[in-house]
Amino acid sequence: MGLSGGAFAEGDLERGEKLYGLCSQCHGVEGEGVPLSLAPSIAGLPAWYVESQLKKFYGGIRGRHPDDIGGMRMRPMTLYFNRPDTRDADFAAVSAYVASLEPKYPEPLLSGGDPEKGQASYSLCIACHGADGLGNEALQAPPIVQISDWYALTQLKNYKNGIRGRDPRDSAGATMWPMAMTLEDEQAMKDVIAYIETLRGSN
């Protein structure tokens, strides 16, 4: 069981596993992520978060900005779920399956981050993502301890540069944008990502 906790109906997981076959081409059979495909690790992410992101991609809230290469690759995948009578159930089923996978903690690909400096920056993240980095569903903040470091850096840049989080329908993204703006440059982003990786041993 992943970080989301809870239980899912066996039928939902069976359906979700079949649907996940499409996702595995980029995210890996075990949800471990494939950097060359610009696909992050997703194993063990909470079902509520996975489902919300699938719906954002489907609805064009994410994945439409021309500078969001990874997002533009992801959005067409969600358009596979194009039957109105089954779409919501399918999104829920595949999200439940992803949540059931054992979380993966990808090996760092970035270098040069200073976790001690990053700890100070992370103080602003605690309110939503928690001191342990496990997130808060009520605040639409996902767990970030198992996030792929390259993906975290990409998304922080996307938020800061207005590539993600500016759609008026994206309330969670609107919260992240000002947080990303507090990180003055790529080095500051690497520092906070390096600190987040130190939280893995405490969970």
Q: Does residue 144 surpass a pLDDT of 70?
A: yes
What does the pLDDT average to over 105-133?
A: 97
Residue pLDDT, tens place only, 20-65? 999 999 999 999 999 999 999 999 999 999 999 999 999 999 999 9
Do 10-100 and 115-202 agree at the fold level?
yes
87-99 in b/e form (b: 16+ CB < 10 A) is beebbbbbbbbbb
Among 140, 34, 110, 52, smallest CA distance to 43 is for 34
pLDDT at residue 40, rounded to an integer: 97
What is the domain class of 10-100 according to CATH? Answer: mainly alpha
What does the pLDDT average to over 178-200?
A: 97
Q: Does residue 9 surpass a pLDDT of 70?
A: no
Sign of the Cα torsion 186, 43, 5, 9 reads positive
pLDDT at residue 50, rounded to an integer: 98
Sign of the Cα torsion 176, 181, 183, 185 reads positive
Among 89, 15, 1, 13, smallest CA distance to 51 is for 89
Q: How big is the CA angle at 156 (ends 29 and 68), to the nearest 5 degrees?
A: 65
**Among 70-84, 122-136, 144-158, whose mean pLDDT is lowest?**
70-84
CATH topology of domain 115-202: Cytochrome Bc1 Complex; Chain D, domain 2 (1.10.760)
Query: Mapping DSSP to helix (H, G, I), strand (E, B) and coil, where does residue 136 land?
Result: strand
Long-range contacts of 162-168 (CB under 8 A, 24+ apart): 163/65, 163/67, 163/68, 164/62, 164/65, 164/68, 164/71, 167/61, 167/62
Locate the domains of the chain by residue range. 10-100, 115-202
**Which letter does DSSP use for residue 61 in this model?**
S
Which residues is 39 bridged to in the sheet?
34
